[in-house]
Amino acid sequence: MSRTVLEIVRSAAPAIGLERPGVLFGSTSRTEIELQRAVIEAADMVLRAHDWRKLMKISTSTGDGSETEFALPSDFLRMPKDADVWSSRTQSPLSRISPEDWLQMDVGIGDFSYGAWTLFGGNMVFRPALSTGETARYWYVSKEVVQGTDGARKERFSDDDDLFVLDDRVLELALIYQWRKDKGLDYAEEMQAADAALSREVESDKGARIVTQRSSRLPATKVAYPGVITP
């Protein structure tokens, strides 16, 4: 069973030369406030180190024949590397277009009648507009790496009983490293320990890869675009 954030901090306290705190987020003392900041930063560091499977979600955009821009999910952090956006109309991935190629199409240099997408302005943008009832689905990594006492996910710790969704031992080591770094102390050994634990967890997580299966009736390649497409 996962430890609470207070339990993680209490476990790390001796290693950073502190007394084990009785409370964390309910305290107004400088030390506890600094610990709050350090554990939040450590959690963010672990979050951004890898496309964690525990944080993967699917987003679906449904077309109405005219809308081209769809807001990204409120908990969107990023799309996994080389992620595709799949259309229910073509039953194949749409083509990702770079911002520069998108502008070329806007000024009339080329077009993309088969379907393309890009990200800008906090939106998933399609060209042409998704047809009525057409869905476009894609994987994304959620930034909600904390679970509250009510079971709901959130982005940051705010309560002593909050749980870290990912490995709490990695978080503890990252906290020790982060604390020493913030205090201007030597942290080379602690950073090495945190990196080693993180690397092991990343390798373990990679063993549960999501496999994309393509129909044998569909080509595995994407439709060619008359121009240079930058991934």
For the chain, give every domain's residue range: 5-52+166-206, 55-142
Give φ, ψ of 201 to 5 degrees.
Answer: -70, -35
For residue 220, the model assigns a pLDDT of 34
For the chain, what is the total number of helices (H) and then of strands (E)?
A: 5, 12
204 contact partners, CB below 8 Å, separation of at least 6:
none
40 CB neighbour count, 10 Å cutoff: 18
CB 5, CB 24: distance < 8 Å: yes
Give φ, ψ of 135 to 5 degrees.
Answer: -115, 145
Instruction: Please state, in angstroms and rounded to a whole number, the distance separating the CA atoms of residues 19 and 10.
Output: 8
For residue 167, the model assigns a pLDDT of 97
pLDDT digits (tens, 9 = 90+) for 29-85: 999 999 999 999 999 999 999 999 999 999 999 999 999 999 999 999 999 988 999
Residue 170 in tokens: 């990695």
99 CB neighbour count, 10 Å cutoff: 11
State if pTM tops 0.75.
Answer: yes
Instruction: Please state, in angstroms and rounded to a whole number, the distance separating the CA atoms of residues 5 and 183.
Output: 21
Could you give the strand order of the β-sheet that contains 116-120, starting from the edge strand earlier in sequence? 69-71, 123-127, 116-120, 95-96
Instruction: Please state, in angstroms and rounded to a whole number, the distance separating the CA atoms of residues 62 and 72.
Output: 13
For residue 23, the model assigns a pLDDT of 97
Residue 59 bridge partners (DSSP): 138
Name the nearest CA neighbour of 174 among 6, 8, 3, 18: 8
- Is the predicted pLDDT of residue 208 greater than 60, yes or no? no
